[in-house]
Structure 1
Amino acid sequence: MNRHLHYFVLFAFFSLAGSTAYAQFPYFESFRTSSRNGIILGGEPSAFLTAGGNSANGGTPIDKEGDGYLRLTNATQNQKGYAYSTSSFPSVRGLKVEFEYYIYG
């Protein structure tokens, strides 16, 4: 009897002691480089990455590779820019998005 009680207590402890582990969202994009795998940029004029060879009109890069940003608009009025990912992901528990932004002009 004592042996069965011992096993029951161990079983109950390990059954109740488990905790739920949540995985981190597996997607991260810094927009620091000229690479934009799976990212669509658009708008009027189109949004662009400032690093590498992706400056406003395909000219000289604004920032060096690794120090760039996603620029949605320039410092003028009546513009729109956007960026979205073509990657799919599960959102059963919702979605948490964090980002930094800068305002110039």
Structure 2
Amino acid sequence: MVQSAICYREAGQSHRAVGLFRQHLVTGEFAPRDRAFFIAQYSGALVAAGEPDEAATAALQALALAADARFGQALTELHRTADHLAPYAEGPAVAEFRQRLDEPAVA
């Protein structure tokens, strides 16, 4: 179902994607790499759904999983999310996420 959420996100149906992510990220058992990637995808869907603060909070969760282990796909997706969050850069959660993403240990 999380793969379906990714498909809905890419098809421009972000609200539907967000609903699926919310439902299945809580109950699903995922390897850390997969969880980081799926939460990164979820954060992107949240931005598209008009929820930038929630997107930044989710992105911080994904970053916590992905940064030290250098999960490339998740980090790539988080950079994409950061680009989409640029118009909301003044928000505290968004600013924190973008700052942490740019730290040398992550970049």
TM-score of the two chains, using structure 1 as the length reference: 0.22
Whose helix fraction is larger, Structure 1's or Structure 2's? 2
TM-score of the two chains, using structure 2 as the length reference: 0.22
Name the larger-Rg structure.
1
